[in-house]
Amino acid sequence: MLTQTTKQEFYQALLTKNVHYEGLFFVGVKRTGVFCRPTCPARKPRFMNCEFYKTAREALLAAYRPCLRCRPLSHPNQVSELVRSLVEAIEENPEK
């Protein structure tokens, strides 16, 4: 069980999108039913609407679904094929 102090620490990391907390916790948002990484670019929920989990599995078992923006079930440094192909196109022809 997480202490109130730990929850406050995790919430501050969420607000600042602190990359040092990546992989240490996930946040479930009660109002949306979605869980995210601490670095998610989505609008930040109020503290009272957050539930914190140590693993994605715990969030899934609590009936949260993965966020479509930060994709908490994928590797944090993984880049989609679309993004990869766009970057390659820009590198090949930067003036366009």
Looking at the 3D structure of the chain, how many domains does it have?
A: 1
Whether residue 36 lies in the annotated active site:
yes
**Domain containing residue 82:** 4-92
The DSSP line for 8-70 is: HHHHHHHHHT-GGGTTT-EEEETTTTEEE-TT--SPPPPGGGEEEESSHHHHHHTT-EE-TTT
Q: What is the pTM of this model?
A: 0.77
- Residues 33-90 pLDDT 10s: 999 999 999 999 999 999 999 999 999 999 999 999 999 998 766 656 776 677 778 8
Choosing from 36, 40, 50, 67, which is the catalytic residue? 36
CATH number at residue 76: 3.40.10.10
Grouping H, G, I as helix, E, B as strand and the rest as coil, residue 6 is helix
